[in-house]
Amino acid sequence: MTDAARRIGDLREQLRLHNYRYHVLDDPIIADGEYDALFRELQALEAARPELADPASPTQRVGAEPTPQFAEVVHPRPMLSLGNAFNEGELAAWRNRAAGLLERDDFDLVCEPKIDGLAIALTYEAGRLAQAATRGDGSRGEDVTLNVRTIKSVPLALQSPEGAPPRMEVRGEVYFPRDAFRRLNEEREANGEPPFANPRNAAAGSLRQLDPRVTAGRSLAIWVYQLGWAEGAETPPTHYETLEWLRELGFRVNLQEIERFASLEGAAAYCEKWERERDAKNYQTDGVVVKIDRLDYQRHLGFVGREPRWAVARKFPAEQAVTRLTAIGVNVGRTGALNPYAMLDPVQVSGVTVRQATLHNEDDIRRKDVRVGDYVIVERAGEVIPQVVGPVLERRTGDETPFEMPSVCPSCGSPVARDEGAAAHRCVNAACPAQRYERVRHFASRAAMDIEGLGEKLVAQLLGAAIIRDLPDLYDLTKERLAGLERMGEKSAANLAAAIAASKSRSVPAILSGLGVLHVGAETADLLARRFGNVRRLMDAGQEELEAVPGVGPIVAAAIAAHFANAGNRDIVDRLAQAGVEAIDAEPPADAGGTGDLPQSFTGKRFVVTGRMEGFTRSQAEAFIKERGGQVSGSVSKKTNFVVAGEEAGSKRDDAERLGVPIISEEQLTAFAESGEAPDVPIAGALL
């Protein structure tokens, strides 16, 4: 074995262990930075030695091509559902029935949080993840392996593949952690996209993405709760010990919360405690699953229909309530989007009084057929703004009125436009007071310029009194002028003036986020900042140059280009620069452009990447090209210079042949990068 091969093996082993410590044991033993360094070292070695590629390597979670659709999977053992117990009496009745059938009363119960996500079956062969399937109808599900591979708490290889059964299936629940869900929705709203209603919908939507790269960006997680089946190995005799064994194998099992009880009273107390504490957890639960511990007892009890007799779901009341929708109001967002919301008769939903709930957009209202005057179901989930789930049709009287989106902006009276293909209606007047208010508020927010003390009320006051009209005017606010405002003390005025002055030295990503360009949230702002180094260079970049930034697609590039094509928007940046916001025209750092010392071998060349490669994922290959000055597009045209084709390259390879575009291998691509000499390949189509 060569040194490189040994080091690759060693790094994979180390990273696997650190993943396990972090995701399964929740007890990391190295810092994130050290992990990243090991990860990058492995990536570099693997890129240099494509023949040593391994799909179970920690670097290989993402990067498969989008699939046209999910294949069907037949579950070797059906995935069942659970009967419900809505109170302690029903729980006792369930246990009594089991005791009668077992003809004994001395069995242990295991209590587990019932995770509100999506059931998944993971098949491992020789200790490696071979397949992941959704529950589907219980007998047949969908093959979502490529997406599930991107979930970091799903092991690609088990801790001790030698100790694992040759073939086994585990079952668990994939879910969206609440904190990650909140971040996702914030980002989506910042980008002008509709937020997900709750973590469960977000998890379902993320898992059913045809492009695994989207799933990879979504921070899903798993709790494994059951062994489906195992072949060729002895397995523990009880459920609880099976869970312990699964955790040793490397699966994320919620043992911190799972408890075993000898009595029904213990189990019932556990359920009560969970109901009180469930809001504080980072995952949503809709109950507790109570299971009989001994697996031989489970087998003896068997099933009725699709429900096991050996387990029951002690369900909690939903985080839902019914109330009357008295009116639909419309807010104007910072990009001019008109956001309808429901005004409700106050109602308690899981301990909180709800008076308003979001309705997203007109399509959403139509789809749900929500009318003013309806009784509606309101849901509070994952600590987001409450949602209107839908009307209670049985309670309709006929006096309800359907909602019409206003044709003029409720704030400024300007006409409302609807972007083609988009759900949102928009006020087209950039000077609209409501938009200005949202823009200034967003600019001052912590995620952007972080101007402490410039809160909602003050923004409204400043705009209302025409002391400021837009973002740059903030920098004309002196301590004296602020002190002259109603309800403003000397001290607060001085603090605010200092905070405004301090914001002049915010970073490029902070300014970019603050400008409120459609689709540019924190993550995209970071990518752009790294590439362009200051705001001015970004503002002057064309669509093509923007698209060349790894991670920036055509839609986002077009939105940025359109934003800065607008004279008013350019004027705002100019005035911010004049006011002293430094990073607009700052000297870009030496490494801006993101290319370091890499030779720009691909300058002026257009590539299309297709098929499965050995040393790269597709996004790595695209980044490799872009970092060396090349352009990457999604489809083959006459303008394409090279198609880089891996295994099983499909229609794009055919297109290249038809159009006479040279097809090169991944080795030819790397050789081209190093030598700067374009590979000399016969053009397939030229012979025809």
Q: How far is the CB of 462 from ligand IVH (least distance, A)?
A: 50
Decide whether 126 or 204 has the Cβ nearer to ligand IVH.
Answer: 204
Q: Which residue has the tokens 């308003």?
A: 356
Residues of the shown chain interacting with ligand IVH in the complex, contacts defined by CB under 6 A: 80-82, 112, 114-115, 119, 135, 173, 225-226, 289, 308, 311, 313
Local structure of 238: helix, strand or coil: strand
- The answer for residues whose C-beta is within 8 angstroms of residue 61's C-beta and 6 or more apart is 149, 150, 152, 156, 216
Indicate the residue among 133 and 552 with the shorter CB distance to ligand IVH. 133
Q: What is the DSSP letter of 210?
A: S
Nearest approach in angstroms of CB 88 to ligand IVH is 19
| Least distance (Å) between residue 557 CB and ligand IVH | 40
The one-letter amino acid code at 608 reads V
Q: Of 141 and 165, which has the nearer Cβ to ligand IVH?
A: 141
Active-site annotation holder among 114, 152, 315, 652: 114
Closest approach of ligand IVH to the CB of residue 103, in Å? 23
- Active site annotation includes 114: yes
Cβ–Cβ under 8 Å, residues 224 and 253: yes
Shortest spacing between CB 289 and ligand IVH, in angstroms = 4
Instruction: Give CA–CA dist 581/571, Å, rounded.
Output: 14
CA-closest candidate to residue 682, choices 662, 656, 654, 659 = 662
Nearest approach, Cβ of 115 to ligand IVH (angstroms)? 4
Strands 631-632 and 606-610 come out as parallel
Q: Which residues pair with 339 in a beta bridge?
A: 331
Rg (CA), the chain: 29
Angle, CA 566 vertex, CA 562 and CA 567 arms, to 5°: 160
Is residue 382 within 8 Å of 178, Cβ to Cβ?
yes
Return the number of the residue (302 or 554) whose C-beta is nearest ligand IVH. Answer: 302
Alpha-carbon span 442 to 448, nearest angstrom:
7
72: β partners: 142
Q: Among residues 24 and 337, whose Cβ is nearest to ligand IVH?
A: 24
CB of 117 to ligand IVH, least distance (A): 7
First to last CA, the chain: 47
Residue 577 corresponds to which tokens in the numbers above? 């620069």
Residues 6+ positions from 468 with CB-CB distance below 8 Å: 440, 462, 474, 476, 477
Least distance in angstroms from the C-beta of 146 to ligand IVH: 21
Give the C-alpha separation, 312 to 110, whole Å: 11
Residue nearest to ligand IVH (CB): 119
Count the Cβ atoms, other than its own, within 10 Å of residue 681. 12
Taking the least distance from each CB to ligand IVH, the nearer of 118 and 664 is: 118
Please, are residues 184 and 217 in contact by the beta-carbon 8 Å criterion?
no
**By C-beta, is 62 or 311 nearer to ligand IVH?**
311
CB environment 87-96: b (16+ within 10 A), e (fewer): ebeebeebbe
C-alpha 675: how far from its chain's center? Answer: 39
The nearer residue to ligand IVH, 12 or 114, going by C-beta atoms, is 114
Catalytic sites, residue numbers: 114
